[in-house]
Structure 1
């Protein structure tokens, strides 16, 4: 179970890294032109950059606490934050009628729930 939880956290970290890099460093117009980027029209550039920075910080929260054994409770806490983020993403995609993209978000949502539940309940890091 520990290996599965580590793989799932690593997958979430990869997704967060890619998403965070694009939101932080790509211009808003370029993000809006990508498939599924229509939602960016209704937010400011600063919001996109802040969201991207939070996603990049979540990479740190998903990986480093477990690797360094410093505050490992941050791994499931970060996963819960991802659950909240993805809930908002799925609501936004649902409003825009982006059902296929919403299904992808639902898959990442399930992985985040798995990591949070797994690290809080099934196999928490030992102190």
Structure 2
């Protein structure tokens, strides 16, 4: 089970590192050109940078604390934080009637919740 949880953590970290890095590296106008990122119209540039920063820090929090054996309790906390971000993303997409991205958001949300549950509980560090 530990190997499975490490794989889930690695996949989530890669996903959120890419997504957050993208939000940090590109301007709001550039992000809005992507048809899957039209939701960015509802947020300020500063808010988008904050979301990107939270995603990157969450991605690092999924891997580094356990890998370095420094405060490994941060792993499930990072998973919870990323699950909250994904739940908020689902709400935004439903309000904007952008249903195409919901399956990806739902899968990532479920993976983050599973990781949080198992790292808090039976497979903690």
TM-score interval, smaller chain:
over 0.9
Moved more, 94-103 or 106-115: 94-103
In 2: Cα distance, 1:124 partner to 1:59 partner: 18
TM-score when normalising by structure 1: 0.95
Aligned residue pairs, count: 125
Match of 1:22 in 2: 22
Alignment partners' CA distance in 2, 1:97 and 1:71? 40
Deviation, 1:100, is: 2.2
Aligned equivalents of 1:91 and 1:50: distance in 2?
18
Q: CA deviation at 1:2?
A: 0.2
The normalised TM-score by structure 2 is: 0.96
Take 1:35 and 1:73, find their aligned partners in 2: how far apart are those partners?
37
In the alignment, the residues of structure 2 paired with residue 35 and residue 99 of structure 1 have an alpha-carbon distance, to the nearest angstrom, of 12
Deviations 1:59-78 (A, max 9, x none): 22111011001100100000
Alignment partners' CA distance in 2, 1:59 and 1:106: 17
Please list, as runs of the form range in 1=range in 2, the aligned pairs for 1:64-103 lying within 5 A after superposition.
64-103=64-103
Q: Which runs of 5+ in 2 are unaligned?
A: none
Question: Any idea what SS the aligned residue of 2:124 has?
Answer: coil
Deviations 1:86-117 (A, max 9, x none): 01000011111122201110000010011001
Give the CA RMSD over aligned residues. 0.9
The match for 1:35 is: 35
4+ long deviations beyond 2 Å: none
CA distance in 1, matches of 2:122, 2:103: 26
SS in 1 for 2:35: coil
Shift of 1:122: 2.2
